[in-house]
Amino acid sequence: MNDLDQLQSETNAALDAAADLRALDAVRVGVLGKSGRLTALLKELGRAAPEERRERGAALNRLRDSLTAAIEARRATLEDAALDARLAAEKLDVTLPPRPEQPGLTHAISRTMEEMAAIFGAMGFGVGEGLDVQTDWYNFSALNIPGHHPARADHDTFYLPGTRDGRPLLLRTQTSDVQIITMLNQDPPLRMIAPGRVYRADHDATHSPMFHQCEGIAIDRGLTLGHLKGCLIDFLRAFFGISSLPVRFRSSYFPFTEPSMEVDIGWNRKTGELGGGGDWLEILGSGMVHPRVLANCGIDPREWQGFAFGMGVERVTMLKYGIPDLRPFYESDLRWLRHYGFNPLAPVALHEGVAP
């Protein structure tokens, strides 16, 4: 066996013995590296006689190619084995039980607005939404509240920098802009509610600068106070789930309705229980849509009549569920949210007392 056969068989044995990529690299450096055995033989070639040099040179090149191929073949085998080992170690156990999920809940405000949509929906009302930023025309002027009217000051409006169509911008103080836009764009008859966020510069234990309102409007030929009363009595009895809930209508004043009525429900002031007890609690405002508001929206008040109403979403939610404080509605305290939250998959029920 000559020295090249010897080198070949020793290297092959070393490659077989190399158990990992690091050992493999040591073998490679020992043969082909700067001071490797084959490199040394190539360096010696220069001192050989010319006729011997050609033959030996060709043999050394063949040996180098064969050893390089053997090293790469071994490297591929070791890399495959390393990947197989990793895949075996990282096996996913699909039989493990899933981690318990923390399901989300529906906020009481959202739940109330969903219930309002369901109850009024059964009476033929659709739901409209608008934007929080509006001009003073949609928020005030269209509603028969002129610039000098004290109601503009009463609402403690947040005015914003800038204008649209030359009109001052503000955060809406009521959701009436939604009905105004609908009346401008749609021919009567129409029935809709507008639940949503409103803003007033008022902040204490019972007032938040942002809160929610639900307004509603019905426009048709020949609508009367009787329709308004029937609709609101049905709604209140359905919403509070008390079919015998006493409801009282009291004369009042709003610039956008004439006549106007405040609506009270029966309760017990001492126990806070709704449904009786001889005391009255104001719950919403309502009235027949002022003819000037209809005219402002391009509806002829001699042909069409309407009734409208508005109520605070937080207020009716607090009364329905006995929630004593307004502030936690907006504080995102998980304990409160879990206590007063609703299963989002539970259907919104229509209670007795609804006349679809």
Question: What's the CA gap between 153 and 132, in Å, rounded?
Answer: 19
Give yes or no for residue 289 binding ligand 2NL (CB under 6 A).
yes
The residue from 115, 215, 264, 314 that contacts ligand 2NL (CB under 6 A) is: 215
As measured in angstroms, the least distance from the Cβ of 329 to ligand 2NL is 16
Task: Name the closest residue to ligand 2NL (Cβ).
Answer: 310
Task: Candidates 10-18, 128-136, 176-184, 320-328: pick the segment binding ligand 2NL (CB under 6 A).
Answer: 176-184
Cβ proximity to ligand 2NL: between 246 and 312 the closer is: 312
As measured in angstroms, the least distance from the Cβ of 133 to ligand 2NL is 18
Cβ proximity to ligand 2NL: between 138 and 240 the closer is: 138
As measured in angstroms, the least distance from the Cβ of 324 to ligand 2NL is 20
Cβ proximity to ligand 2NL: between 125 and 309 the closer is: 309
Cβ atoms 31, 41 nearer than 8 A: no
Cβ proximity to ligand 2NL: between 18 and 293 the closer is: 293
* Residues from 300 through 329 that contact ligand 2NL (CB under 6 A): 308-312
The residue from 11, 139, 179, 305 that contacts ligand 2NL (CB under 6 A) is: 179
Give yes or no for residue 287 binding ligand 2NL (CB under 6 A).
yes
As measured in angstroms, the least distance from the Cβ of 149 to ligand 2NL is 15
Give yes or no for residue 293 binding ligand 2NL (CB under 6 A).
yes
Interacting residues toward ligand 2NL by CB under 6 A:
176, 179-180, 213, 215, 217, 254, 256-257, 285-287, 289, 293, 308-312
